[in-house]
Amino acid sequence: MAAGRSGNPDAVTIGPVGDDDVAAMLDIINRAAEAYRGVIPADRWHEPYMPAAELAAELADGVIFSGARIDGVLAGVMGVQRRKNVDLIRHAYVLPDRQGQGIGASLLRHLCQGRERPVLIGTWQAAAWAVRFYERHGFAILAADDAARLLQTYWSIPERQIATSVVLASQPLSAAEVGALIAGARRN
């Protein structure tokens, strides 16, 4: 249960999403991504922020989304992707009028539960609210050099996005630990 802004409790359930949810997922992602407008570097902003073909490509590339439903209606999504020797949290979005009610927290807890490999999250450096959100849930922001090496190893994103992103990890990682992780990924 999550307290709505009105103070009324709404029934929130976390669970899998299916093919029937794709249109609602795109709607949530693109409405929530409005938060980036004017915040992330202008050359990285485009509309829609996530075109349908990009979401389809992410699903085909192994991003597994979970959804948060309020009275059965999808209000938030978050994905997880196994990459080599780590798990990545990908694409965290909650409908703007449902943000700040604990839905993101529930999704993050659900996705991180029982994971033994390091969990990494990449986000825009300028998205200070997202960085704070993950830090409040125990994630540690990594040094810029280490973040760049990790982004090159585990993500498929352009150099420009690497330069304007940060990486948070489920446990603090020293430069040596990042090096060991990347060496392990190469053997994977």
Ligand X SMILES: CC(C)(COP(=O)(O)OP(=O)(O)OC[C@H]1O[C@@H](n2cnc3c(N)ncnc32)[C@H](O)[C@@H]1OP(=O)(O)O)[C@@H](O)C(=O)NCCC(=O)NCCS
Q: Which stretch binds ligand X (CB under 6 A): 8-16, 95-103, 140-148, 155-163?
A: 95-103
Q: Which of residues 20-79 bind ligand X (CB under 6 A)?
A: 32, 35, 76
* 11-46: burial string, b at 16+ Cβ within 10 Å, e else: ebebeebeeebeebbbebbbbbbebbeeebeeeeee
Q: Residue from 49, 65, 133, 155 that binds ligand X (CB under 6 A)? A: 133
Query: Is residue 80 involved in binding ligand X (CB under 6 A)?
Result: no
**Shortest approach of ligand X to residue 144 CB, angstroms?**
17
Nearest approach, Cβ of residue 142 and ligand X (Å): 15
Q: Which lies closer to ligand X via its Cβ, residue 163 or residue 183?
A: 163
By C-beta, is 160 or 174 nearer to ligand X?
160
Which of 81, 85, 101, 165 is the binder for ligand X (CB under 6 A)? 101
Q: How many residues bind ligand X (CB under 6 A)?
A: 18
Nearer to ligand X, 100 or 179 (CB): 100
Nearer to ligand X, 35 or 112 (CB): 35
CB-based burial label for 54 (10 Å; 0-12, 13-18, 19+): middle
Non-local CB neighbours of 16 within 8 Å, separated by 6+ positions: 65, 66, 67
Does 104 engage in binding with ligand X (CB under 6 A)? yes
Tell me how crowded residue 167 is: count the other CB atoms within 10 A of its CB: 26
Nearest to 171 by CA among 116, 105, 131: 116
CA separation for the pair 169, 171 (Å, rounded): 5
State which of residues 50, 120, 130, 168 lies at the interface with ligand X (CB under 6 A): 130
Name the site residues for ligand X (rule: CB under 6 A). 32, 35, 76, 92-94, 99-105, 123, 127, 130, 133, 136
